[in-house]
Amino acid sequence: MAELTYREAVARGIAQEMRRDENVVFLGEDVAKAGGVFKATVGLYDEFGPLRVRDTPISEQAILGAAMGAAMTGLKPIAEIMFSDFLAVCFDFIANEFPKSRYMSNGQTKCPLVVRTGNGAGSRFGAQHSQSVENWAMMIPGLKVVAPSSPADVIGLLAASVRDPDPVIFFEHKSLYAVKGEVPDGEILDTLGTAKILRAGKDATIIALALMVPRALEAADILARDHGIDCEVIDVRSLVPLDTQTILGSVSRTGRLFTVEENPRLCGWGAEIASIAADECFYDLDGPIVRITTPHIPLPAADNLEDIVLPTPQRIVQKIVQSMN
Amino acid sequence: MAELTYREAVARGIAQEMRRDENVVFLGEDVAKAGGVFKATVGLYDEFGPLRVRDTPISEQAILGAAMGAAMTGLKPIAEIMFSDFLAVCFDFIANEFPKSRYMSNGQTKCPLVVRTGNGAGSRFGAQHSQSVENWAMMIPGLKVVAPSSPADVIGLLAASVRDPDPVIFFEHKSLYAVKGEVPDGEILDTLGTAKILRAGKDATIIALALMVPRALEAADILARDHGIDCEVIDVRSLVPLDTQTILGSVSRTGRLFTVEENPRLCGWGAEIASIAADECFYDLDGPIVRITTPHIPLPAADNLEDIVLPTPQRIVQKIVQSMN
Amino acid sequence: MKKPAAARARKAAPAKKPSAAKSAAAGKRAGVNDDIGADTRLELYRLQYEIRVCEKKAYDLFLQNLVKGTSHLSLGQEAIAAGFAGAMKPGDKSFCTYRGHAHTLARGVPMEKMLGELMQRDNGLMRGKGGSMHLTSEEHGVMGSYAIIGAHLPIACGAAWRAQYLGHDDVSVCFFGDGTTNIGAFHEALNFAKIWNLPVVFVCENNLYMEYTPIGDVTAVEHPAADRAPAYGLPKIIVDGNDADAVYRVAQEALEKARSGGGPSLIECKTYRHSGHSRADPGAYRPKGELEEWLKRDPVKIYRERLAEFGIKEAQIKKIEKAIDEELDQAVENCKAAPLPPEEIMTTDVYADGGWAWRN
Amino acid sequence: MKKPAAARARKAAPAKKPSAAKSAAAGKRAGVNDDIGADTRLELYRLQYEIRVCEKKAYDLFLQNLVKGTSHLSLGQEAIAAGFAGAMKPGDKSFCTYRGHAHTLARGVPMEKMLGELMQRDNGLMRGKGGSMHLTSEEHGVMGSYAIIGAHLPIACGAAWRAQYLGHDDVSVCFFGDGTTNIGAFHEALNFAKIWNLPVVFVCENNLYMEYTPIGDVTAVEHPAADRAPAYGLPKIIVDGNDADAVYRVAQEALEKARSGGGPSLIECKTYRHSGHSRADPGAYRPKGELEEWLKRDPVKIYRERLAEFGIKEAQIKKIEKAIDEELDQAVENCKAAPLPPEEIMTTDVYADGGWAWRN
Ligand SMILES: Cc1ncc(C[n+]2csc(CCOP(=O)(O)OP(=O)(O)O)c2C)c(N)n1
Ligand SMILES: Cc1ncc(C[n+]2csc(CCOP(=O)(O)OP(=O)(O)O)c2C)c(N)n1
Ligand SMILES: [Mg+2]
Ligand SMILES: [Mg+2]
C-alpha cells in the first residue's frame, strides 16, 4: 500500500502498461520532456525514452489520427488530448473514425487505443477549459468511456483500457489530480463496465461520476446525519460499457434515483440512466427521478461563480431532501 | 397555397430571408453555382449573385469560423455543412466558439447565424454520411437546435432561425428532401421553441422529430385501427428551446410517454425528455417511459440493413402495444 | 497480383502541363534500354483496363439501380492507381477515399468482392455493412476508404509510425483529391509526417474539381498539393497522372525513399475524371470541350498505344482484356445472384468481442 | 488611445535573425528624416511600458493568489502589441489568444478593467465571467481572446469578410503564436483569406516555444509562419518582433494593403517570452543562457534607449512612466476593493434575451 495522488496514479498506470507491453506507445503535446502540463506524465520520458514517449505539435487531429493508424496496424497507443474541451478540434476521429471502422469493415479493422484527457471544472479556467464532456463520447456508438474518481481506480481502469481491444476515451478530472488515495502495491488491473457501490443505503440511490463522487458521498453523510435519509452511493466509473445491473439493482431496492452530474444538463449521462430506469424499473420507483446537474450554461471563470454552478454537497442534500419529503 | 418539396422549401426559405435583409449571406461547399449537392439551394446564386451566395473550399472550420466572425460584426450568415456528420470536423465552432462568446464576454459579443446541415439516414450512404446528430448540438449550452419535418415548417422555422439573435443549428433531413407538402403563399414565419401536436389522442403520447414524425403518425394510425390505442403525436420541431409545456401537458393527460428517435440510443434527445418527464410528471405516469431508437451502433450501408435499424412504424407499434398491455 | 520487375526508377521530372504533354514521346521509345520493361508494362495496362471496365460496369449497375447508395468512379484516373499499385510491395498499405474502387482493385481485390459491396450484397468485401465509400481489404493492404475529407492522412501517418517503430519495411500510401488539400487535417498530417520522418507517401489526384466546384476557384495556389510541399520541408513533385509509366517511376522513387528511412513525399498527379463526381452527376459545371480535350489523353487509350510502340503484340493485350472481361461478367452474375446481407449482421462487429453490447 | 502620425510605412525589410540584429542601427539614426516621428515613438513606448508594468503586476498578483485561474504574460513581446496597436485605426478589430493582455491594453482598455478580470472581480472587463483567457472589449475593437488554438483565425476572416461585404474600411488583425501554425484551422483560414482577398492581417508571434516544447522540435520548416506563406500565395514576411519601430512599419504596410483591397498578409514576428508559459511556470525547459541572451534585447529597454538616440528628453519619458505607474497603483487598489461578481450573473447572457432559458 502506498498513498498516491491521482496525478501520480496516471503516470504509474501508464508506466505499468508500458513495462508490460513494448507496443504501448504514448504521444501528446508537452507530455514527454516536460512531463505534461498537469505533471501527470512525469518520468515516463526518462524511463521509456524518446521513441515511446513523444511530444507532438499542436495538431490534435494528427495526434488522434496517428494513434488510430498505429492501433490499426499493431501498436497500442495512448494519446493525450490536454483538455477535454479540445476534443472538439479532433472530434471527427472520436465520432466518425475510431468507432466506425471495425463495423464498416465488417470486423477487419481494429482500433485498440486510449485517449486520455483532462476533464472538468474547478480550476477557474473559464468556459473553454473546464467542461465535463463525457457525454460527447458516450453518445457515440463504438467507443468505451471511462472516468475514474480515485487514484486506485485510475491505475486499474487505465490498465483495463490499455488492454481493451476497443477505443477507450479516458476522462481524468483536473480537480482530482491533487487528491490522494491508498493504492495497493504491484500490478493493478480493474474491469471496465463495473460500477462500484461506495456506500450502501436503503432510502435512495445516488449515482455520480468523477469529481461528483466525493461530493455525493459527503452529501450522503449529511443526509444520514441531519435528515435521516440513508442513501446508496454508486460510482459509475465506466459509462460504456454501463453497469446497468448494479444501477438498476440499487434503484429497485431503494425506490428512488438521483444523479449527480457535472455536465451541463441537456443530454448528460444522467439523462440516459434516468431514461433506462424510467423504463426498466418504473414499477419499483417510489418517486420522481431527479437529476442534479450544472445548469445548462457555459462555465464562468470567477471562482465564486464556478463554485456555485457545479453541484455541491449542499445542493445535492437540498434537492434530495426536497424531493424525498 | 402551393405544393413544394422539402428541398424546394429550403431554397424558398433562404430566398425569403435574403430578400428581406441584405445582411443575410450564404456560404458553403458547392452551394452557389451548383445549387448544392442536395439541390436544396438551386436558384439562389442566380438571384442573389456571387457576393451573397458563395462557394467555399473544403474547409469546414473556415466556413463556420467565417460565419461567426461575420455574425459578430453585423452580418446574418447562413452556413451549410453538407452532411451533419461533418460537424465533427468543425466541432470546435459548434461546441466552444458560437455558444460561449456571448456568455464569456458578459453580453458584449453576439453570434446570430444559422448552420444548415443534411442530417439522417435512408440514403444507403453508410456510417459516415447517415447519422442523426441533433444531440451533438442539443447538449451544448448556448445553441438553439431545430429540425423540421415538413416543407411548411422548413420555411417558417428557417425564417425564425435567420431572424433569431442566437446561433441556430438547423437540421434538414436528407430523406425528407423529396417529400412534398402544402405551403401557404407569401411570407412564412414560425416560432422557435414550439412543439406541434399533430394528432390528438388520450392513451399515450408519442414524441418524434424529423423523419420519425411521419413514421410516428403512421404508427398512431395503426395503433388506433388495429389495437384500439389512441396516441397523441407531437412533433418536437425545436430541441432548444424545448417546448416542455406542450410535451409535459400531453404526458400528464395521457399518462404514457414514448419517444421515437432516429439517433443511436445513448444520450439522444429522447433521454433528456424522458428524464424531464420522469422528474416533473412522475405522478401522472401510468407506466414506463419507453424510448424507441436506432440501436446504439454505427449505421450499415446496405439498404435492407439500414431499413431495419431505424425505427419503423411497425417497430413503433410493436413496442407500444407490448408496453401498454 | 503479379509484381512488376523491380526496375529502379529514374529521377522523375515534373510533368509538363497536361494540355502540353500530349504524347510527346510517341514513336521515340525504344524497347531495349527501357527502365520499366514489358512485364511491368503489361501489368500496368492490365490494372488500368480492369479498373476501366469495372468502373464502367459499376456505372451501368448504378443506372439499373443495382448499385445502391452512391458511387464515385475513377474513370480517367486509372493510371494513378495502376502506377502506384504496380510499384507497391505486398505489405505496403493503401489508404483511400470514397473514390477508392480503383485503388482497391489495383491492390488485388477481386472485382466480385468490390462490386458485391457496391451492390450491398452478402458477397461484398464488407458484406454490405460499409458500402462503396468504405472499401477495406486488410489482406490486400487496403486499410480502408474514408469518406470524411482529410481524416485518412493522419491515419496513414499512424500506420507509417508503426512501421518505423517496429522496424517493418512497409510504406503507407495515402490517396486523396485536390479538394482535400484545403482542409485542416491535410496540414496537420503533412507537418507531422515530416517531423517524425515517417515512411508515408501522400498522393494527391488533382482531377481539377471538388464535387462540382473547380479547385482553382477556391485555392490560393496553382498546384494545390505541390505548391504546399515546401511548407512541410518537402520537394515539389508534379507528375502527369494520365501516364502510368510516369506515375510508376515517381511512385518507385517515393516508396524507395520512404522504405530506406528518407521520410515522406507529397506527389501531385494531374488528371481528370471522365465521369461526374458521384452517382448520376452529369458534370454540367464543366466548360464545354474540357472533357473532350482530356478524353484525347485517356490514360487507358494512350497506354494501350504505347504498348504497341514498345513492341508488345496485340494478341497479348487482347488476351489480358478477354480474361478481365470474362472475370467481370462472372463477377456481375455472381453479385446479382448473391443474397442480401442477413439481418443478424446488423449488430455484429461494433466491438472487438463481435457484438454491440454497451451495457450488461 | 492617442493615434500615431499617419506616416507612410517604408518597405519593411525582413529582420535579421534576432541574435544578430542587436541594435545594429544604434547611433546611426537621425531624428529629422525619420518616418515615424517623436509623437508616435512616445506612444509606442508608452504602450510598451504600460504592458510591461501591468504584466509584471499581474504576475505579482498571481503569486499573491489574487489573480485566479491562469494567466499568460507577454513580458518580452510588448513591441508586437505596441507596434500593431500603434498602426491600427480606431475601427480596426483585434482577435487575440489567451495570451491577450498585451493586445487588450494596447487597444486602449484601461488596466483596471483588465486586472479586474484577471482577479475575477465585478469591475473586470467581463465581470469575471470570461477570465484572463477571454479578454473582450468590443468598444475598443478587441473582439475577443480565444483559448482554443487556431479558432480565431477563421473568425477573423469572417469579420474581414463583413468589412469587405459592407464596404467598411476596417481591418481585422489576428494575433497568435508559433505553435498555432501547426493546427488545421491555421491552414484553412489562410487559404480562405487569400481566395476571398479579405482585409485581414495574421500576426504570428514566434516566441520559440509552444507551452514547454520548442517550436523547432515539432515544425517541418524553420520559420513556422513565414515559410508557409507561399502555400497561400502570400509573400514571406519576417520582422524583428522586439523592435517596435520595425513592427510598426510592417503593420502599417499590411494594414494599408488590406484597407485598400490588397488582401491578407501573414507576418512572422521573432520574439521571446521572458516569463514562463502560464501561471508560475519556471520555464525549466529552456537552455541555460537563452533567456539572458534575449534579455539583452529586451524590447522595452532598447526602445527606451532609442528614444534618447532620437533626442527625446528623459523628462518626457519619465512623465509617461509616472502617469502609468500611478494609474496602475490606483487600478490595483480599485481591483482589490472591488466586490466579487454577484451570483445572479452566473446565468445571464447565455442567449441574446439576456437569460439562459432553454425551455418553457
Ligand atoms: C469533411 C468533408 N467535407 C465535405 C465532404 C463532401 N465531399 C465529398 S467528396 C468532396 C469533393 C472532394 O474533392 P477532392 O478532394 O478533389 O476529391 P475527388 O472527389 O475529386 O476525388 C466533397 C466536398 C466530405 N466528404 N467531407
Ligand atoms: C487546440 C488546442 N490545443 C492545445 C491547447 C493548449 N495550449 C494552450 S497554449 C499552447 C501553446 C501555444 O503555443 P503558441 O501558439 O506558440 O503560443 P504562445 O503560448 O507561445 O503565445 C497550448 C498547446 C489549446 N489551448 N488548444
Ligand atoms: Mg478532385
Ligand atoms: Mg509560442
Instruction: Quick: pLDDT tens for C121-139.
Output: 999 999 999 999 999 999 9
Give ligand 2 pocket residues (Cβ under 6 A). Answer: A 29, 58, 60, 82, 86, 89; D 99, 147-149, 176-180, 205, 207, 209-211, 277
Predicted confidence (pLDDT) at residue A320 exceeds the cutoff of 80? yes
The model carries a pTM of 0.96
Q: What is the mean pLDDT of residues D249-263?
A: 98
Q: Which chain C residues are closer than 8 Å to D186 by Cβ?
A: 184, 187
Q: Is D219 helix (H, G, I), strand (E, B) or coil?
A: coil
**Distance between CA atoms of residues C258 and C265, nearest Å:** 8
DSSP C91-118: T-EEEEESS-HHHHHHTT--HHHHHHHH
* Preferred mutation among D127, D162, D169, D186 to probe B, highest tally of B CBs within 10 A: D162
Q: What is the mean pLDDT of residues D37-58?
A: 97
Beta bridge partners of B76: B24
- What spacing in Å lies between the alpha carbon of B13 and ligand 1's midpoint? 27
Q: Do C162 and A74 touch (CB under 8 A)?
A: yes
| pLDDT, position C3 | 37
Contact D293, D272 (CB under 8 A): no
Tell me: the pLDDT tens digits for A161-178? 999 999 999 999 999 999
DSSP 8-state code for residue C317? H
Tell me: the pLDDT tens digits for D145-200? 999 999 999 999 999 999 999 999 999 999 999 999 999 999 999 999 999 999 99
C-alpha cell at position A135: 457525454
**Distance between CA atoms of residues B309 and A168, nearest Å:** 25
C-alpha cell at position A150: 480515485
Contact A150, A6 (CB under 8 A): yes
| pLDDT, position C19 | 40
| pLDDT, position D5 | 39
Predicted confidence (pLDDT) at residue C9 exceeds the cutoff of 50? no
Parallel, antiparallel, or unpaired for β B204-208 and B257-264? parallel
Parallel, antiparallel, or unpaired for β A204-208 and A231-235? parallel
**Distance between CA atoms of residues A312 and C310, nearest Å:** 82
pLDDT below 50 — which residues of chain B? Answer: none
**Distance between CA atoms of residues A76 and D295, nearest Å:** 44
Q: Do A108 and C93 touch (CB under 8 A)?
A: no
Chain C closest-CA separation from residue B117 CA (Å): 15
Predicted confidence (pLDDT) at residue D23 exceeds the cutoff of 90? no
Taking each helix axis from N to C terminus, what angle separates D299-309 and D314-337, rounded to the nearest 10 degrees? 150
Nearest to A3 by CA among A245, A178, A259: A178
Query: Chain centroid to CA B165: how far?
Result: 18
Q: Is D151 helix (H, G, I), strand (E, B) or coil?
A: coil
Looking at the domain that runs over B196-324, which CATH code has it been given? 3.40.50.920
Chain D closest-CA separation from residue A95 CA (Å): 18
Tell me: the pLDDT tens digits for C63-80? 999 999 999 999 999 999
- Strands ordered across the beta sheet of A204-208: A196-199, A231-235, A204-208, A257-264, A290-294
DSSP 8-state code for residue C261? T
Contact C160, C154 (CB under 8 A): no
Alpha carbon distances (Å) from A114 to A98, D248, D258 = 10, 47, 45
Four-point Cα dihedral D20, D26, D31, D33, nearest 10: -40
Q: Is C321 helix (H, G, I), strand (E, B) or coil?
A: helix
Task: Please check whether the domain covering A2-183 is classified as CATH 3.40.50.970.
Answer: yes
* Preferred mutation among A54, A76, A104, A247 to probe C, highest tally of C CBs within 10 A: A104
The reply to whether B145 touches chain D by the CB within 8 Å rule is no
How much of chain A, in percent, has pLDDT values that exceed 90? 99
Alpha carbon distances (Å) from C247 to C11, C85, C90, C269, C291 = 12, 10, 18, 8, 21
Contact C296, C22 (CB under 8 A): yes
Active site includes A173? no
Four-point Cα dihedral D210, D211, D213, D216, nearest 10: 10
Chain A closest-CA separation from residue D342 CA (Å): 8
Q: Do D343 and A295 touch (CB under 8 A)?
A: no
Predicted confidence (pLDDT) at residue A286 exceeds the cutoff of 70? yes
Nearest to B134 by CA among B29, B23, B271, B323: B271
Q: Do D356 and A59 touch (CB under 8 A)?
A: no
Q: Do D129 and A300 touch (CB under 8 A)?
A: yes
Same fold flag, B2-183 and B196-324: yes
Parallel, antiparallel, or unpaired for β A196-199 and A231-235? antiparallel
C-alpha cell at position B194: 414550439
At D264, the amino acid letter reads P
Count Cβ–Cβ pairs < 8 Å, chain C vs chain D.
70
| pLDDT, position D33 | 52
**Average pLDDT of chain D to the nearest whole number:** 92
Question: SS3 letters for B124-165?
Answer: CCCCCCCCCCHHHHHCCCCCEEECCCCHHHHHHHHHHHHHCC
User: Residue for cell digits 455558444?
Assistant: B99
- Residues across chain C: 360
| pLDDT, position D17 | 42
Contact D303, D246 (CB under 8 A): no
The reply to whether A105 touches chain B by the CB within 8 Å rule is no
Predicted confidence (pLDDT) at residue C279 exceeds the cutoff of 90? no
- What spacing in Å lies between the alpha carbon of B89 and ligand 1's midpoint? 13
Q: What is the mean pLDDT of residues A269-282?
A: 98
| Band (A218; pLDDT cuts 50, 70, 90) | very high
**Distance between CA atoms of residues C89 and C101, nearest Å:** 19
Question: Quick one: which H or E segment has residue C339?
Answer: none
Parallel, antiparallel, or unpaired for β A144-146 and A168-173? parallel
DSSP 8-state code for residue C124? S
Helices (H), C38-146: 38-63, 78-87, 101-106, 111-118
Going by alpha carbons, the residue nearest to atom 13 of ligand 2 is D210
Q: What is the mean pLDDT of residues A299-324?
A: 98
Q: Do B298 and A138 touch (CB under 8 A)?
A: no
Q: Is C122 exposed, middle or buried (0-12, 13-18, 19+ CB in 10 A)?
A: middle
Contact D271, D302 (CB under 8 A): no
Ligand 1 binding pocket includes C224 (Cβ within 6 Å)? no
Predicted confidence (pLDDT) at residue D110 exceeds the cutoff of 70? yes
Query: Chain centroid to CA C335: how far?
Result: 23
Residues 6+ apart with CB under 8 A from C18: C240, C242, C270, C271, C272, C294, C297
> What does the angle CA A96 – CA A102 – CA A103 come to, to the nearest 5 degrees?
80
Question: SS3 letters for chain A?
Answer: CEEEEHHHHHHHHHHHHHHHCCCEEEEECCCCCCCCCCCCCCCHHHHHCCCCEEECCCCHHHHHHHHHHHHHCCCEEEEEEEEHHHHHHHHHHHHHHCCCHHHHCCCCCCCCCEEEEEECCCCCCCCCCCCCCHHHHHCCCCCEEECCCCHHHHHHHHHHHHHCCCCEEEEEEHHHCCCEEEECCCCCCCCCCCCEEEECCCCEEEEECCCHHHHHHHHHHHHHHHHCCCEEEEECCEEECECHHHHHHHHHHHCCEEEEEEEECCCCHHHHHHHHHHHHCHHHCCCCCEEEEECCCCCCCCHHHHHHHCCCHHHHHHHHHHHHC
Going by alpha carbons, the residue nearest to atom 13 of ligand 1 is C210
CB atoms within 10 A of CB B317: 21
Q: Do C129 and B128 touch (CB under 8 A)?
A: no
Q: Is D288 helix (H, G, I), strand (E, B) or coil?
A: coil
At C257, the amino acid letter reads K
Count Cβ–Cβ pairs < 8 Å, chain A vs chain C.
167
Predicted confidence (pLDDT) at residue C23 exceeds the cutoff of 50? no
| pLDDT, position C33 | 52
Chain A closest-CA separation from residue B116 CA (Å): 18
Q: What is the mean pLDDT of residues C170-177?
A: 99
| pLDDT, position D279 | 84
DSSP 8-state code for residue B96? I
Chains contacting B with at least 3 CB pairs below 8 Å?
A, C, D
Q: Which residue of A has its CA nearest to C149?
A: A92
Predicted confidence (pLDDT) at residue A285 exceeds the cutoff of 70? yes
DSSP 8-state code for residue D17? P
Question: Quick one: which H or E segment has residue C345?
Answer: none
**Distance between CA atoms of residues C287 and C337, nearest Å:** 41
- Residues across chain D: 360
| pLDDT, position C10 | 33
Tell me: the pLDDT tens digits for D218-253? 999 999 999 999 999 999 999 999 999 999 999 999
- Residue C2 has phi, psi (to 5 degrees) of -70, 135
Q: Where are the domains of chain B?
A: 2-183, 196-324
Predicted confidence (pLDDT) at residue C5 exceeds the cutoff of 50? no
User: Residue for cell digits 508571434?
Assistant: D205
Question: Quick one: which atom of ligand 2 is closest to the CA of B92?
Answer: 1
Nearest to C283 by CA among C72, C47, C99, C26: C72
Question: SS3 letters for C214-259?
Answer: EHHHHCCCCCCCHHHHHHHCCCCEEEECCCHHHHHHHHHHHHHHHH
Question: Quick one: which H or E segment has residue B282?
Answer: none
- Measured between CB atoms, which of B89, B303, B308 is closest to C346? B308
Predicted confidence (pLDDT) at residue C31 exceeds the cutoff of 60? no
- Residue B80 has phi, psi (to 5 degrees) of -105, 130
Q: Is D16 helix (H, G, I), strand (E, B) or coil?
A: coil
Q: Which chain D residues are closer than 8 Å to A85 by Cβ?
A: 148
Contact D126, D174 (CB under 8 A): no
